Amino acid sequence: MSIQEVKQLIENRENPESSCASITDTIEEHLAEVSARIEDLTALKVTLLGMSSACDGEGKIKDCGVLKKLSE
């Protein structure tokens, strides 16, 4: 959530009798964005863990399991 969006939320105080539906909608949109980012990052973590376990770092580049996984 940007600073501008937070300011817009706070500005709603100037109309205390208005519906708070727009505020709730804004928060719900950001929750959906955060959830999507978490899903993407979780998938990336799983991928990186798989790659990490493919190479112990002791061999030569030509035998690197990480590079082999990248070329699959």
What would the pLDDT profile of 16-56 be if each residue is shown by its tens digit? Answer: 888 889 889 989 999 999 999 999 999 999 999 988 888 88
Q: For residue 13, what is the DSSP state?
A: G
Amino acid (one-letter) located at 72: E
Residue 19: the pLDDT is 87
Amino acid (one-letter) located at 31: L
pTM check: above 0.85? no
Output the six-digit token pair for 22.
Answer: 């727009």
Of the candidates 24, 2, 1, 29, the one whose C-alpha atom is nearest the C-alpha of residue 12 is 24
**Residue bearing the bigger pLDDT, 3 or 57:** 3
Report which secondary-structure segment, H or E, holds 41.
helix 21-52
